[in-house]
Structure 1
Amino acid sequence: MKLSTLKRIPPPWRARAMRLGFNLNPAFRGTGGRVDYVSPDLLHVRIRLPLTRRTRNFVGSLYGGSLFAVTDGVHVAMLLASLRRDVIIWDKAAAIRYRKPAYATLYADFRLGRKDLIEICRELDNNHETSRKFTIELKDKAGILYTVVERLVYIADKAYYKQKMLVQKPGVQT
Protein backbone atom coordinates (compact mmCIF):
# COMPACT_ATOMS: atom_id res chain seq x y z
CA MET A 1 0.00 0.00 0.00
CA LYS A 2 1.35 3.41 -0.98
CA LEU A 3 1.36 6.14 1.64
CA SER A 4 -0.60 8.42 -0.69
CA THR A 5 -3.33 5.78 -0.46
CA LEU A 6 -3.08 5.87 3.34
CA LYS A 7 -3.91 9.59 3.37
CA ARG A 8 -7.15 8.90 1.44
CA ILE A 9 -8.32 6.38 4.04
CA PRO A 10 -10.57 7.75 6.80
CA PRO A 11 -8.48 8.55 9.93
CA PRO A 12 -10.05 5.85 12.15
CA TRP A 13 -8.85 3.17 9.69
CA ARG A 14 -5.31 4.49 8.98
CA ALA A 15 -3.51 2.66 11.78
CA ARG A 16 -5.04 -0.66 10.76
CA ALA A 17 -4.24 0.02 7.08
CA MET A 18 -0.61 0.89 7.89
CA ARG A 19 -0.18 -2.28 9.94
CA LEU A 20 -1.71 -4.39 7.20
CA GLY A 21 0.35 -2.64 4.52
CA PHE A 22 3.61 -3.40 6.31
CA ASN A 23 2.66 -6.99 7.10
CA LEU A 24 1.64 -7.75 3.51
CA ASN A 25 4.64 -6.04 1.89
CA PRO A 26 6.96 -8.76 0.51
CA ALA A 27 10.15 -6.84 1.40
CA PHE A 28 9.06 -6.38 5.00
CA ARG A 29 7.73 -9.93 5.27
CA GLY A 30 11.16 -11.14 4.18
CA THR A 31 12.71 -9.67 7.33
CA GLY A 32 10.63 -12.08 9.42
CA GLY A 33 9.19 -9.16 11.40
CA ARG A 34 5.55 -8.34 11.95
CA VAL A 35 3.92 -5.06 12.90
CA ASP A 36 1.91 -5.79 16.04
CA TYR A 37 0.63 -2.30 16.80
CA VAL A 38 0.20 1.11 15.19
CA SER A 39 -1.23 3.90 17.35
CA PRO A 40 -4.30 5.74 16.02
CA ASP A 41 -2.20 8.92 15.55
CA LEU A 42 0.48 6.86 13.65
CA LEU A 43 3.21 8.12 16.03
CA HIS A 44 3.97 4.75 17.65
CA VAL A 45 4.67 1.48 15.86
CA ARG A 46 5.60 -1.78 17.61
CA ILE A 47 7.32 -4.54 15.66
CA ARG A 48 7.86 -8.13 16.73
CA LEU A 49 10.74 -10.20 15.37
CA PRO A 50 10.19 -13.83 16.36
CA LEU A 51 12.95 -16.41 16.53
CA THR A 52 11.83 -18.89 13.88
CA ARG A 53 13.44 -21.20 11.37
CA ARG A 54 13.36 -18.30 8.86
CA THR A 55 15.01 -15.75 11.19
CA ARG A 56 17.56 -18.04 12.86
CA ASN A 57 21.22 -18.03 11.84
CA PHE A 58 23.52 -21.06 11.80
CA VAL A 59 24.30 -20.78 15.55
CA GLY A 60 20.63 -20.60 16.49
CA SER A 61 20.29 -16.89 17.36
CA LEU A 62 18.37 -14.22 15.48
CA TYR A 63 20.00 -13.43 12.15
CA GLY A 64 21.73 -10.01 12.19
CA GLY A 65 20.29 -9.11 8.80
CA SER A 66 16.76 -9.55 10.14
CA LEU A 67 17.58 -7.45 13.21
CA PHE A 68 18.77 -4.65 10.95
CA ALA A 69 16.20 -4.95 8.16
CA VAL A 70 13.17 -5.02 10.47
CA THR A 71 13.95 -1.38 11.39
CA ASP A 72 14.11 -0.20 7.77
CA GLY A 73 11.50 2.27 6.55
CA VAL A 74 9.36 2.51 9.67
CA HIS A 75 10.30 6.08 10.61
CA VAL A 76 10.06 7.07 6.94
CA ALA A 77 6.50 5.72 6.77
CA MET A 78 5.53 7.35 10.07
CA LEU A 79 6.87 10.73 8.93
CA LEU A 80 5.22 10.52 5.51
CA ALA A 81 1.91 9.67 7.16
CA SER A 82 2.20 12.35 9.87
CA LEU A 83 3.67 15.40 8.13
CA ARG A 84 0.96 17.45 6.49
CA ARG A 85 3.10 18.60 3.57
CA ASP A 86 4.60 17.44 0.29
CA VAL A 87 8.00 16.00 1.26
CA ILE A 88 10.74 13.64 0.15
CA ILE A 89 11.94 11.30 2.91
CA TRP A 90 14.58 8.58 2.75
CA ASP A 91 17.03 6.75 4.97
CA LYS A 92 20.39 8.44 4.58
CA ALA A 93 22.53 6.22 6.81
CA ALA A 94 22.20 3.46 9.38
CA ALA A 95 24.34 1.64 11.92
CA ILE A 96 23.74 -1.37 14.13
CA ARG A 97 25.33 -2.37 17.45
CA TYR A 98 24.81 -5.93 18.60
CA ARG A 99 24.86 -6.14 22.40
CA LYS A 100 24.32 -9.89 22.74
CA PRO A 101 22.96 -12.78 20.68
CA ALA A 102 19.19 -13.08 20.77
CA TYR A 103 17.67 -16.51 21.35
CA ALA A 104 14.13 -15.16 21.84
CA THR A 105 11.52 -13.00 20.14
CA LEU A 106 12.49 -9.33 20.14
CA TYR A 107 10.39 -6.17 19.99
CA ALA A 108 11.11 -2.69 18.63
CA ASP A 109 9.12 0.42 19.48
CA PHE A 110 9.27 3.32 17.03
CA ARG A 111 8.05 6.63 18.39
CA LEU A 112 7.65 10.16 17.07
CA GLY A 113 6.62 13.01 19.32
CA ARG A 114 4.45 15.95 18.39
CA LYS A 115 7.44 18.16 19.29
CA ASP A 116 9.55 16.24 16.75
CA LEU A 117 7.01 16.98 14.03
CA ILE A 118 6.85 20.67 14.97
CA GLU A 119 10.67 20.93 14.94
CA ILE A 120 10.87 19.19 11.56
CA CYS A 121 8.25 21.52 10.08
CA ARG A 122 10.06 24.55 11.49
CA GLU A 123 13.34 23.35 10.01
CA LEU A 124 11.68 22.73 6.63
CA ASP A 125 10.16 26.23 6.73
CA ASN A 126 13.60 27.76 7.38
CA ASN A 127 16.01 25.54 5.41
CA HIS A 128 13.75 23.36 3.20
CA GLU A 129 15.61 20.22 4.31
CA THR A 130 16.74 18.50 7.49
CA SER A 131 18.03 15.21 8.86
CA ARG A 132 16.99 13.40 12.02
CA LYS A 133 18.68 10.55 13.86
CA PHE A 134 16.43 7.91 15.36
CA THR A 135 17.57 5.21 17.78
CA ILE A 136 15.68 1.93 17.88
CA GLU A 137 16.28 -0.64 20.61
CA LEU A 138 15.41 -4.29 20.08
CA LYS A 139 14.47 -5.90 23.40
CA ASP A 140 12.88 -9.09 24.62
CA LYS A 141 9.61 -9.24 26.58
CA ALA A 142 11.49 -8.69 29.85
CA GLY A 143 13.03 -5.48 28.49
CA ILE A 144 16.56 -6.84 28.08
CA LEU A 145 18.42 -4.97 25.33
CA TYR A 146 19.98 -7.03 22.53
CA THR A 147 20.53 -4.64 19.63
CA VAL A 148 20.58 -0.89 18.99
CA VAL A 149 20.00 0.50 15.50
CA GLU A 150 20.57 4.15 14.62
CA ARG A 151 19.01 5.52 11.44
CA LEU A 152 19.61 8.93 9.91
CA VAL A 153 16.55 10.09 7.96
CA TYR A 154 16.65 12.89 5.37
CA ILE A 155 13.54 15.07 4.96
CA ALA A 156 13.07 17.81 2.35
CA ASP A 157 10.29 19.83 0.77
CA LYS A 158 9.54 18.09 -2.52
CA ALA A 159 9.76 21.24 -4.66
CA TYR A 160 13.08 22.23 -3.07
CA TYR A 161 14.49 18.73 -3.50
CA LYS A 162 13.52 18.59 -7.18
CA GLN A 163 15.14 21.99 -7.79
CA LYS A 164 18.26 20.90 -5.90
CA MET A 165 18.55 17.77 -8.05
CA LEU A 166 18.19 19.83 -11.26
CA VAL A 167 21.00 22.15 -10.18
CA GLN A 168 23.28 19.19 -9.36
CA LYS A 169 22.88 17.65 -12.83
CA PRO A 170 25.37 19.22 -15.24
CA GLY A 171 23.94 20.45 -18.54
CA VAL A 172 20.35 20.69 -17.28
CA GLN A 173 18.83 24.15 -17.55
CA THR A 174 16.04 25.36 -15.30
Structure 2
Amino acid sequence: MIRKLTNWLTSANGMRRIMNVYGPYLGAGVKVNYVAKDFREAEVTMKLRWYNRNYVGTHFGGSLFSMIDPFYMLLLMNTLGRDYVVWDASASIDFIRPGRGVVKARFVLTDAMLNDIYEATANGEKYLPSYEVNITDEDGELVARAIKTLYIRRKPPRK
Protein backbone atom coordinates (compact mmCIF):
# COMPACT_ATOMS: atom_id res chain seq x y z
CA MET A 1 0.00 0.00 0.00
CA ILE A 2 2.77 2.46 0.94
CA ARG A 3 4.72 1.57 -2.21
CA LYS A 4 1.63 2.25 -4.36
CA LEU A 5 1.13 5.61 -2.65
CA THR A 6 4.81 6.52 -3.06
CA ASN A 7 4.74 5.56 -6.74
CA TRP A 8 1.59 7.62 -7.26
CA LEU A 9 3.07 10.67 -5.50
CA THR A 10 6.24 10.54 -7.60
CA SER A 11 4.46 9.93 -10.90
CA ALA A 12 3.77 12.66 -13.43
CA ASN A 13 0.02 12.30 -12.92
CA GLY A 14 0.47 12.40 -9.15
CA MET A 15 2.54 15.57 -9.42
CA ARG A 16 -0.12 17.14 -11.65
CA ARG A 17 -2.87 16.31 -9.16
CA ILE A 18 -0.90 17.59 -6.17
CA MET A 19 -0.04 20.84 -7.96
CA ASN A 20 -3.72 21.35 -8.78
CA VAL A 21 -4.66 21.34 -5.07
CA TYR A 22 -1.56 23.27 -3.93
CA GLY A 23 -2.80 26.34 -2.04
CA PRO A 24 -0.99 29.07 -4.00
CA TYR A 25 -2.18 27.57 -7.28
CA LEU A 26 -5.75 27.20 -6.07
CA GLY A 27 -5.66 30.81 -4.90
CA ALA A 28 -4.30 32.07 -8.21
CA GLY A 29 -6.56 29.90 -10.35
CA VAL A 30 -3.65 28.05 -11.98
CA LYS A 31 -4.41 24.63 -13.46
CA VAL A 32 -1.77 22.08 -14.37
CA ASN A 33 -3.26 20.44 -17.45
CA TYR A 34 -0.50 18.06 -18.41
CA VAL A 35 2.76 16.57 -17.21
CA ALA A 36 4.40 14.04 -19.53
CA LYS A 37 5.05 10.60 -18.03
CA ASP A 38 8.79 11.10 -18.58
CA PHE A 39 8.64 14.61 -17.00
CA ARG A 40 9.96 16.20 -20.19
CA GLU A 41 6.94 18.43 -20.83
CA ALA A 42 4.23 20.25 -18.90
CA GLU A 43 1.43 22.71 -19.63
CA VAL A 44 -0.40 25.06 -17.28
CA THR A 45 -3.32 27.43 -17.83
CA MET A 46 -5.04 30.14 -15.85
CA LYS A 47 -8.51 31.54 -16.47
CA LEU A 48 -9.20 35.17 -15.69
CA ARG A 49 -11.32 35.21 -12.54
CA TRP A 50 -12.42 37.89 -10.10
CA TYR A 51 -9.75 36.74 -7.63
CA ASN A 52 -6.78 36.84 -10.02
CA ARG A 53 -7.45 40.06 -11.88
CA ASN A 54 -5.77 43.34 -11.15
CA TYR A 55 -7.17 46.85 -10.72
CA VAL A 56 -7.67 47.32 -14.48
CA GLY A 57 -9.40 43.96 -15.00
CA THR A 58 -6.58 41.93 -16.55
CA HIS A 59 -4.46 39.07 -15.19
CA PHE A 60 -2.54 40.04 -12.05
CA GLY A 61 1.20 39.96 -12.77
CA GLY A 62 1.97 37.96 -9.63
CA SER A 63 -0.44 35.25 -10.74
CA LEU A 64 1.16 35.18 -14.20
CA PHE A 65 4.56 34.74 -12.60
CA SER A 66 3.36 32.10 -10.13
CA MET A 67 1.98 29.94 -12.93
CA ILE A 68 5.47 29.43 -14.38
CA ASP A 69 7.55 29.49 -11.21
CA PRO A 70 8.45 25.91 -10.25
CA PHE A 71 8.07 23.91 -13.44
CA TYR A 72 11.53 23.75 -14.98
CA MET A 73 12.91 22.91 -11.54
CA LEU A 74 10.33 20.16 -10.95
CA LEU A 75 10.72 18.67 -14.43
CA LEU A 76 14.51 18.63 -14.13
CA MET A 77 14.49 17.17 -10.62
CA ASN A 78 12.38 14.28 -11.86
CA THR A 79 14.28 13.84 -15.13
CA LEU A 80 17.82 14.06 -13.72
CA GLY A 81 17.07 12.05 -10.59
CA ARG A 82 18.60 11.97 -7.14
CA ASP A 83 22.17 12.35 -8.37
CA TYR A 84 21.56 16.06 -9.03
CA VAL A 85 20.75 19.12 -6.98
CA VAL A 86 18.30 21.42 -8.81
CA TRP A 87 17.12 24.77 -7.45
CA ASP A 88 15.50 27.86 -8.85
CA ALA A 89 18.23 30.51 -8.78
CA SER A 90 16.55 33.59 -10.25
CA ALA A 91 13.80 34.77 -12.55
CA SER A 92 12.62 37.81 -14.43
CA ILE A 93 9.42 38.51 -16.29
CA ASP A 94 8.46 41.04 -18.96
CA PHE A 95 4.79 41.86 -19.33
CA ILE A 96 4.15 42.33 -23.05
CA ARG A 97 0.37 42.83 -23.28
CA PRO A 98 -2.59 42.62 -20.92
CA GLY A 99 -3.70 39.07 -20.23
CA ARG A 100 -7.39 38.39 -20.65
CA GLY A 101 -9.33 35.15 -20.77
CA VAL A 102 -7.28 31.95 -20.53
CA VAL A 103 -3.50 32.19 -20.58
CA LYS A 104 -1.16 29.24 -21.12
CA ALA A 105 2.48 28.32 -20.56
CA ARG A 106 4.30 25.27 -21.86
CA PHE A 107 7.57 23.79 -20.61
CA VAL A 108 9.70 21.39 -22.64
CA LEU A 109 12.99 19.68 -21.79
CA THR A 110 14.84 18.86 -25.00
CA ASP A 111 17.66 16.39 -25.52
CA ALA A 112 19.96 19.35 -26.21
CA MET A 113 19.07 20.95 -22.85
CA LEU A 114 19.74 17.70 -21.00
CA ASN A 115 23.01 17.08 -22.87
CA ASP A 116 24.18 20.59 -21.94
CA ILE A 117 23.41 19.84 -18.28
CA TYR A 118 25.21 16.49 -18.32
CA GLU A 119 28.30 18.02 -19.98
CA ALA A 120 28.43 21.10 -17.76
CA THR A 121 28.03 19.16 -14.51
CA ALA A 122 30.07 16.05 -15.34
CA ASN A 123 32.90 17.01 -12.97
CA GLY A 124 30.68 18.34 -10.20
CA GLU A 125 30.64 21.97 -11.30
CA LYS A 126 27.53 24.07 -10.84
CA TYR A 127 25.62 25.03 -13.95
CA LEU A 128 23.27 28.01 -14.22
CA PRO A 129 21.21 27.58 -17.39
CA SER A 130 18.47 30.06 -18.26
CA TYR A 131 15.26 29.00 -19.95
CA GLU A 132 12.63 31.20 -21.58
CA VAL A 133 8.97 30.64 -20.82
CA ASN A 134 6.25 32.31 -22.89
CA ILE A 135 2.79 32.97 -21.53
CA THR A 136 0.27 33.26 -24.34
CA ASP A 137 -3.43 34.02 -24.61
CA GLU A 138 -6.14 32.02 -26.37
CA ASP A 139 -5.16 33.53 -29.74
CA GLY A 140 -1.51 32.55 -29.26
CA GLU A 141 -0.51 36.18 -28.65
CA LEU A 142 2.38 36.73 -26.26
CA VAL A 143 1.24 38.09 -22.88
CA ALA A 144 4.47 37.74 -20.90
CA ARG A 145 7.96 36.34 -21.31
CA ALA A 146 9.89 35.01 -18.33
CA ILE A 147 13.47 33.89 -17.95
CA LYS A 148 14.11 31.20 -15.35
CA THR A 149 17.68 30.56 -14.21
CA LEU A 150 18.35 27.31 -12.41
CA TYR A 151 21.19 26.07 -10.24
CA ILE A 152 22.15 22.53 -11.19
CA ARG A 153 25.01 20.46 -9.78
CA ARG A 154 25.80 16.78 -9.90
CA LYS A 155 26.13 15.40 -6.38
CA PRO A 156 29.52 13.93 -5.48
CA PRO A 157 29.60 10.14 -5.46
CA ARG A 158 28.94 8.50 -2.09
CA LYS A 159 31.93 7.07 -0.35
Tell whether the structures are fold-level matches, with TM greater than 0.5. Answer: yes
* CA distance 1:27–1:86, shift in 2 (3 Å): farther
Give a deviation string over 1:96-137, Cα, whole Å, max 9, x none: 101111122100001111221122122111343101101111
TM-score (norm 1): 0.80
Length, aligned pairs only: 152
1:67 aligns to what SS in structure 2? helix
- How far is the alpha carbon of 1:86 from its aligned partner? 2.1
Larger Rg: 1
Listed as ranges, the gaps of 5+ residues in structure 1 are 161-174
Paired with 2:66 and 2:152, the residues of 1 have a C-alpha distance of: 20
Q: Given the alignment, which residue of 60, 64, 86 partners 1:63?
A: 60
Are 2:103 and 1:113 equivalent residues in the alignment? Answer: no
Paired with 1:146 and 1:51, the residues of 2 have a C-alpha distance of: 13
Paired with 1:113 and 1:41, the residues of 2 have a C-alpha distance of: 12
Q: Percent identity?
A: 28
Paired with 1:120 and 1:147, the residues of 2 have a C-alpha distance of: 26
Q: What do you get for the CA RMSD once the two structures are aligned?
A: 2.0
Are 2:123 and 1:103 equivalent residues in the alignment? Answer: no
| Alignment correspondent of 2:139 | 142
Q: Given the alignment, which residue of 6, 9, 28 partners 2:7?
A: 9
1:141 aligns to what SS in structure 2? coil
Listed as ranges, the gaps of 5+ residues in structure 2 are none
Paired with 2:49 and 2:155, the residues of 1 have a C-alpha distance of: 41
